[in-house]
Amino acid sequence: MDLTTLTLTELRDAMRGGVTSSVEATRAVLDRIVAVDNDIKSYLSVTDEMALAQAEAADARRAMGEDTPLLGIPVAVKDIICTQGVETTAGSKILQGFVPPYDAFVVRKLKDSGAVIIGKTNTDEFAMGSSTENSAYFTTGNPWDLERVPGGSSGGSAAAVAGRLAFGALGTDTGGSVRQPASFCNLVGLRPTYGRMSRWGVIAFASSLDQIGTFGRTVADCTALFQVTVGYDRQDSTSLNRPVPDYEAALTGDIRGLKVGVPEEFFIEGMQPEVEQAVRSAIDKLRDLGAEIHEISLPHSQYALPVYYLIAPAEASANLARYDGVRYGPRIEGDDLLETYNRTRALFGAEVKRRIMLGTYALSAGYYDAYYGRALKVRTLIKNDFLAAFEQVDVIAAPTSPTTAFMIGERVGDPLSMYLADIFTLPVNLSATCGLSVPCGFDGGGLPIGLQLIGNTLEEATILNIAYAYEQATGWHKQLAPCGKAATG
């Protein structure tokens, strides 16, 4: 039996039943990484020795009678999340060689549960991108078609799970960077409510928007990973001190009477017809399962793209000012301090430089009120739209992305076209709600399509359950990526 074909929860059951061990599962994943990841390029670093040691420890714990939720499960971590003793670059040359002396809160939770950390996954530099083409190291391919992008910025994590190189993975979602790659790679990707998962130990991009999320091949897999890593953290001032429900127990599949809102603004001119057809068919399936479908409006969501690209770059310009070659990362000496700064910061890639300049301009004297200040006001209007909608419905259903995965290089020279890949996911981050993507079909070229389900603040259990009900009534999630073969029409 090829252990990598099992889902996370299937592997957990197999280990609990004594059918296999963590060491066997970890070796199977490491062997597969050797076999296919030179083509996919999902990992920036593979911690094979550490992973096998953790697997042996997990098997020993199980032999002693322990049974924590992720005991012995091999998982991957996006390389923007700090890992003690393991290089963490954020996909940037300016952090090359940075080895954190501590684990991020979520990594510590993974280790406490007995998870095996396989390695660090590729990412757009500082999580700024929608395709993983902005990584300073290499571009990750989509396991469904290596000539196409896996999405971004958490494309490495998505590709690792879709390519069966990990049983689950952590990513981050600032404007859609978990949900959009999940859609492109036929995965379930959850972006929880802002503050639901601690950001302590996550390298900052835009602090009011960043949020850790989880990837799995099924809703149950995604939920199991979320259940372990969620929770209050006193080290994170934005962490929500709220009780953590049993999300796995909430996956009943019963959605009778649930009110599902369908926003007209999320079905726009120019979106791929196959995407609209698949998403509308998925909404019809929810009706068949007993949900009530209601047309709603989110009128200010049309401004989400310009609002995001004022707020996020402004916060990025402040957060990235710390990378000056003085405290950590490479230092390129100049004749004086200013030249040292300039030479060192030249290590930033083109997209990061673009966003720093955009953000600095938006915050500069004479322009703050006209750009950044106005963007904050419109952000409030977007949030109010969602609050009004959730007085009428329980969940909002929409496309995750307007298209399926695009070709590598197709949008590199057109930043606006690249930014439009996240047009349907940005409003969730701006409104501080929660959302996920669940597989809902394929286009004519065999590329995955995702259904986005959006819930109110702290309503992760609701969107996970409706996704679970849909998943169990369909079979899209059961199809495995060819890992290297080009999709055919």
- Nearest CA to 69 out of 38, 39, 22, 110 is that of 110
Does residue 297 carry a catalytic annotation? no
Catalytic residue (choose from 92, 130, 135, 153): 153
Catalytic residue (choose from 21, 22, 78, 131): 78
**Whole-number Å distance between alpha carbons of 213 and 209:** 12
Catalytic residue (choose from 177, 198, 301, 431): 177
Does residue 153 carry a catalytic annotation? yes
Compute the residue count for the chain.
489
**Whole-number Å distance between alpha carbons of 205 and 199:** 11
Backbone angles phi, psi at 355, to 5 degrees: -75, -35
According to DSSP H, which parts of 252-324 are helical?
A: 273-288, 304-319
Backbone angles phi, psi at 396, to 5 degrees: -110, 130
End-to-end CA distance of the chain: 31
Q: Cβ(424)–Cβ(461) under 8 Å?
A: no
**Whole-number Å distance between alpha carbons of 8 and 10:** 5
**Whole-number Å distance between alpha carbons of 1 and 295:** 47
CA distances from 430 to 285, 292, 318, 322 (A): 29, 27, 19, 25
Backbone angles phi, psi at 50, to 5 degrees: -65, -40
**Whole-number Å distance between alpha carbons of 155 and 382:** 27
Place of tokens 């049983």: 167
- Structural Rg of the chain based on CA atoms: 21
- Nearest CA to 312 out of 348, 351, 268 is that of 351
- Nearest CA to 375 out of 454, 312, 319 is that of 312
Does residue 78 carry a catalytic annotation? yes
| Catalytically annotated residues | 78, 153, 177
